């Protein structure tokens, strides 16, 4: 890892450290996190998670960078430093709930641009529900786990970065039909979906777990 990337990582690590370990109730700073870029956690100016007795947006300041969430969070969100586009630079990811029941998690995502040395808000990633990431597989996933029919309907899409563009490569869904549950998987190429697998039934817990969580990485042979 280059010196610049190490410094960038230390700065983000300090931000995450400040959020979780140095959260200080402060009326003047409520909803803000203030840190000096590149400084150790002990030298941070101040840190404060939003006072979410009422819903509000999250504001971060990292050195000269000021970031404000587009979403209004009902509960304290997670604030993470994660490489979401797998370019070895740490990005900023705020994720949490916008309703009291937390049916779906939303995200505010800023990707770090080493060229401009700024964090750039990424609209596509920020529009994805229940976003998750696999660093080892270099894939991302989003979808809705409870889309109706007593919680049995769901759909998920798997994404891959290609030449700077985030493209969907795999889709899976389950729906309630008159004859019972119907599960389908699709391969996506050049924006076109092709059906690759269909299965009926499967109401048992083991099958449901596999369908919902066990197919994160699509087979390359299916593309």
Query: CB 96: neighbour CB atoms within 10 A?
Result: 21
Q: How far apart are CA 140 and CA 202, in angstroms?
A: 26
* Cβ-proximal residues to 189 (8 Å cutoff; 6+ apart), any chain: 169, 223
**Model pLDDT, residue 131:** 95
Q: Across 63-117, where does the E strand assignment appear?
A: 65-68, 78-82, 91-97, 105-113
Find residue 132's DSSP bridge partners: 141
Q: What is the C-alpha to C-alpha distance for residues 64 and 136, in angstroms, rounded to an integer?
A: 32
Rg (CA), the chain: 20
Instruction: Spell out where the chain has E strands.
Output: 32-35, 46-47, 59-62, 65-68, 78-82, 91-97, 105-113, 118-121, 132-134, 139-144, 154-162, 165-177, 180-189, 192-200
Q: What's the confidence (pLDDT) of residue 26?
A: 30
> 3-state DSSP call for residue 174?
strand
pLDDT at position 15 is: 53
Question: What are the tokens at 6?
Answer: 């190490």
Domain ranges of the chain: 3-127, 139-222
- Give the per-residue pLDDT at 5: 57
* DSSP single-letter state for residue 12: H
Using 70 as the pLDDT threshold, list the residues of the chain that sit under it.
1-55, 214-223
pLDDT at 211: 87
pLDDT attached to residue 81: 86
Residues of 112-149 as b/e, b for ≥16 C-beta within 10 angstroms?
A: beeeeeebeebeebbebebbbbeeeeebbbbbebebee
Distance in angstroms (rounded) separating the CA atoms of residues 172 and 190: 17
The three-class DSSP label of residue 15 is helix
């Amino acid at each position: 890892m280059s010196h610049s990337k190490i410094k960038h990582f230390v700065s983000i690590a300090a931000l995450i450290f400040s959020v979780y370990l140095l959260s200080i109730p402060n009326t003047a700073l409520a909803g803000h996190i203030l840190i000096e870029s590149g400084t150790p956690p002990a030298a941070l100016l101040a840190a404060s998670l939003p006072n979410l007795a009422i819903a509000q947006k999250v504001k971060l300041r990292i050195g000269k960078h000021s970031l404000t969430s587009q979403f209004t969070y009902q509960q304290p969100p997670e604030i993470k430093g994660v490489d979401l586009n797998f370019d070895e630079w740490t990005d900023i990811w705020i994720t949490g709930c916008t309703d009291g029941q937390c049916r779906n998690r939303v995200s505010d995502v800023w990707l770090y641009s080493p060229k401009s040395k700024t964090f750039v808000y990424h609209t596509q990633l920020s529009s994805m529900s229940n976003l998750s990431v696999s660093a080892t597989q270099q894939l991302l996933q989003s979808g809705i786990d409870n889309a109706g029919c007593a919680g049995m309907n769901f759909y998920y899409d798997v994404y891959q970065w290609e030449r700077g563009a985030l493209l969907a490569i795999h889709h899976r869904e389950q729906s309630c039909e008159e004859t019972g549950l119907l599960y389908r998987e699709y391969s996506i190429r050049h924006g076109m979906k092709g059906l690759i697998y269909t299965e009926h039934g499967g109401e048992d817990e083991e099958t449901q777990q596999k369908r919902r969580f066990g197919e994160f990485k699509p087979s390359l042979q299916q593309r």
